[in-house]
Chain A
Amino acid sequence: MKKWICIICGYIYDEALGMPDHGIAAGTSFESLPDDWTCPECGSPKESFEPYVG
């Protein structure tokens, strides 16, 4: 399970956790998020994310 960071605001999407409050189950890969999914913090598109090693 990987983590992804939004380079605009620093929000981290953790595949292991998902976003249950937003209807995204734990274990949902970043790639399988809808194309129009946006960062919940800043609203940036998926293209603003990159793999996070931290």
Chain B
Amino acid sequence: MSTSSATEGRVEIDGRIFNPYSKDFIRSPWATWEKMVLEYPVAWHKDLNMWVVSSHDACTEMLKNNLFTPSYKAWEHAPPEKPEAEKNDFERSLDHGLFATRTQDHLRLRKLALPAFSKPVMGKIDAKIRDLVTGVFDEIGEPEQFDAFSMIAEKLPVRAIARMVGVPTNKEAFFHEFAVSVIKSTRINLPLKERQAAIQASLPGFAYFREVIAQRRAAAHPGDDFVGNLIGASEGDDRLGDYDIMAMIQAVIVAGSDTATDLHTYAIQGLLGNPEQYRLLRQRPELMENAIIELLRVGAFGKTPQFRFATQDIEFRGQQIRKGQSILLNLTAAWVDPQKWDRPRQLDITRRLDGNLVFGAGAHFCIGTYLVRVQGSLMIGELMKRFPNAELVNGNGDVEYDYNHHNARRINRLLVRSNVRPAQDRFIPESTVETSH
């Protein structure tokens, strides 16, 4: 099984087996992922210089083991820590983020933040962003065809997140600038200079939210929206600090606007590529939540989904992982692992999804899971209402990809044929038509 062993007993692979940056892989990862989960579920990648964990069972085990941390500070190649006084708002927020904190602090943060991300609060966000969704579809109109990426996926998530964190409409351009800077600053495949420039560009946005938090704290009531809920969260005397809250806003922006972009394109691709499933969902809208998870599972748009770092030397499934080494959690391969899922690439919105890893597992389970379901439901609901007979142009939407995206198989073109009949050709019931006889 070893291609060559630099370390005795270590299973090794290289770019000939798995290259997440190759165009062929990005377009069609399936054969590679099947090989990884079946033949190399845990392997050292000589070119990426990290472990890659790919099977469902191995990913599940690692996600639930806190000895593998998402904090980059545990990485053997992490830059030296700056003195606290020299850190800027971006760096302080990152330090307070859910990925960076120690286990005890992490549980405390999750507990305090839970109400703000809960189903009831996310349900209220439904009401707040519904007009954004209808607005995006109003902008599409009734063309013969449209691009689901530029008309829906690229617009909706950033607008929804801005609304969610309470950014006024006249500041949306400023917020979009902030969101792009925050995302770019965490793109490890960008040159250091570009990331540093993005960090600097994000600082006005952090200053803005620091001001918003101060105003809300000074008010009689912090508000019952997302930011208000974070400010008001308490456990006895324990409350979230300013940088805890800014870290949550930062995380929500990155996940909620960047990852959510792929949610929309892949959901549309999955449904319109499986017309009988699209029809089924229209007939049975109560399947919506399950459908969203299944669409994400089958779409499997992650390229380099998640990272972990070993906090100590540890044996994992027969492999010796050294303290500080990085691990790529190849979650999207696990999502279509044939050892876990029957007919893994078949979209089935009625499928039982017990034990799925679409939102991860364990302590770092996706905190935005309900936001994803709300955004996805609204978009799909409007799509079904406006374009019930839509299909993908040429069967595949003439799909194109952004091959340079930092961690996703980012679709940046997906053409949809609306099949909306022009207004003048629509059937008008007889009872409404006056006749001369």
Docked pose: A40 CA to B356 CA in angstroms: 10
- Please indicate which of the listed interface residues A9, A22, A45, A48 has the most CB atoms of chain B within 10 Å of its own CB: A9
* A43 and B365 contact, CB distance less than 8 A: yes
Q: Closest residue to B113 on the A side, CB-wise?
A: A7
- Among A7, A38, A45, the residue within 8 A (CB) of B114 is A7
Is B361 an interface residue, CB under 8 A from the partner?
yes
- Please indicate which of the listed interface residues A8, A40, A45, A48 has the most CB atoms of chain B within 10 Å of its own CB: A8
- Among A5, A9, A22, the residue within 8 A (CB) of B365 is A9
- Residue tally, chain A, CB below 8 Å to B: 14
* B354 and A8 contact, CB distance less than 8 A: no
Which residues between 83 and 118 of chain B lie within 8 Å of chain A, taking CB atoms?
A: 107, 110-111, 114, 117-118
- Among A10, A22, A43, the residue within 8 A (CB) of B362 is A43
A7 and B111 contact, Cβ closer than 8 Å, known pairs A42-B359, A43-B64: yes
Closest chain B CB from A25 CB (angstroms): 18
Interface string of B365-401 (1 = CB under 8 A from A): 1000110000000000000000000000000000000
Is A29 an interface residue, CB under 8 A from the partner?
no
Is A28 an interface residue, CB under 8 A from the partner?
no
Closest chain A CB from B235 CB (angstroms): 10
Is B148 an interface residue, CB under 8 A from the partner?
no
Docked pose: A7 CA to B107 CA in angstroms: 8
In the complex, how many residue pairs between chain A and chain B have their CB atoms under 8 Å apart? 40
Interface string of A25-54 (1 = CB under 8 A from B): 000000000000010111111001000000
Chain A positions within 8 Å of B130 at CB level: none
Chain A positions within 8 Å of B119 at CB level: 10
* B117 and A10 contact, CB distance less than 8 A: yes
Is B133 an interface residue, CB under 8 A from the partner?
no
* B110 and A8 contact, CB distance less than 8 A: yes
Is B240 an interface residue, CB under 8 A from the partner?
no
Chain A positions within 8 Å of B257 at CB level: none
Closest chain B CB from A22 CB (angstroms): 8
* A42 and B365 contact, CB distance less than 8 A: yes
* B363 and A9 contact, CB distance less than 8 A: no
* A43 and B361 contact, CB distance less than 8 A: yes
Known A8-B365, A42-B360, A44-B362; 19 more pairs at CB < 8 Å? A7-B107, A7-B110, A7-B114, A8-B362, A8-B363, A10-B118, A10-B370, A22-B354, A38-B64, A42-B362, A42-B365, A43-B60, A43-B63, A43-B365, A44-B64, A44-B361, A44-B363, A44-B365, A48-B107
B interface, CB within 8 angstroms of A: 60, 63-64, 107, 110-111, 114, 117-119, 354-355, 359-363, 365, 369-370
A interface, CB within 8 angstroms of B: 5, 7-10, 22, 38, 40-45, 48
